Amino acid sequence: MRRFAYLRPARLEEALAAAAEPETAWLAGGTNLVELMKRGVARPARLVDLAGLEDLATITPLAAGGLSIGAAVRNADLARHPVILRDAPILAEAVLSAAAPQIRNRATTAGNLLQAPRCAGFLDPGAACNRRAAGSGCAARGGDGRDAAVLGATEACIAVHPSDLAVPLVALDARLRVAGRDGERTIALGTLYGADGASTLPPGELVRAVLLPAEAAGFAGHARYLKLRERTSFAFALVSAAAALRIAGGRIVAARVALGGVAPRPWRPAEAEAVLAGAVPTDALFRAAADAALAAARPIAENGFKIELARRVLVRALTLALRGTPARVPALAASPFAPAGEGARHG
């Protein structure tokens, strides 16, 4: 590991000034960054620890409705927060399906959204990776491609985005409040990710909060996150789906859909939402929406199975959302094997 300077500012202005220096990285929970530093994939000269900025670790209501979720809110705290469980239980289901409890106790909201891909080529400093060094090539294209993207892949990168939390947040039209030395701005969460899934924020800019719109609460009663993985817990998604519906008069008034594990960034298929909006919910309708969502999917080497798997996961997520959000987030969150029972209460 490269030797580095460590700073722990007490005010946001100090943090932004410190991050203006080259080769500086933000340190929050450290669950991803420290691993990358140990591997030699990340080699920052300076770390700016955000632990001293207490205002980044709060969940507060917005004046116009909705919530501001601080960038440094721990995943475990987010999943158990009573307002999240009432207005956006799908976020709790996604968070509780990710990592081990010990990791969730350290990992932060913004860190989860900005985590690096688990692509073998990216994680090997000796392998070619355009994400680490533009123009160097993509060693993953020479592998079996089993975990690679089937949507949105480019010649430069075929890795999938690993965040569970980002999938329902993108579906619910979340935005980000970001700060830099030139001031603050608000952006759509979906625009945080470039074509290769890497952050589009310029160096030195900081995510302050995730902004969940007031409209998200209207989906709370019919919203589910479903995740297929190699083992029931502590594993990244092969494919996942967030499905949120508003039902009135026996019809779908509005639908929000997003997929994970299939693209370099959280994938929101507008085509699927268009199929669902205004329609009477049926199995055939859900299959048509899934077909629309995956119409542009293309396999890479050994991962053709992910296309059909993603279709089935999305149909299942829509079916579960139609039945209604459970009173408690299942103990095996987001798992198709989760029994009804104990968990975090919704409502």
332 vs 4, higher pLDDT:
4
Q: Which long-range contacts (CB under 8 A, 24 or more apart) does 104-108 make?
A: 104/74, 104/75, 104/76, 104/79, 105/74, 105/75, 105/76, 106/29, 106/30, 106/31, 106/74, 107/29, 107/31, 107/32, 107/74, 107/75, 108/28, 108/29, 108/71, 108/72, 108/73, 108/74, 108/75
- Looking up residue 326, the CATH number of its domain turns out to be 3.30.390.50
Total domains in the fold of the chain? 1
User: How far are the Cα atoms of 15, 254, 258, 276, 304 from residue 280, in angstroms, in the given order?
Assistant: 51, 11, 20, 8, 31
58 domain residue, yes or no: no
User: pLDDT value at position 330?
Assistant: 82
Parent domain of 297: 219-333
Task: With a cut of 80, say whether residue 344 has pLDDT above it.
Answer: no
Q: Which pLDDT tens digit goes with each residue over 193-207?
A: 999 999 999 999 999
User: pLDDT value at position 341?
Assistant: 43
85 domain residue, yes or no: no
251 domain residue, yes or no: yes
Q: Which pLDDT tens digit goes with each residue over 267-312?
A: 999 999 999 999 999 999 999 999 999 999 999 988 999 999 999 9
Residues facing 328 on adjacent strands:
345
Q: Which pLDDT tens digit goes with each residue over 236-276?
A: 999 999 999 999 999 999 999 999 999 999 999 999 999 99
Q: Which pLDDT tens digit goes with each residue over 25-56?
A: 999 999 999 999 999 999 999 999 999 999 99
- The confidence band for 1, taking pLDDT boundaries of 50, 70 and 90, is confident
User: pLDDT value at position 346?
Assistant: 52
202 domain residue, yes or no: no
Averaged over 197-225, what is the pLDDT?
97
Q: Which pLDDT tens digit goes with each residue over 69-119?
A: 999 999 999 999 999 999 999 999 999 999 999 999 999 999 999 999 999
Tokens 């700016």 — which residue? 48
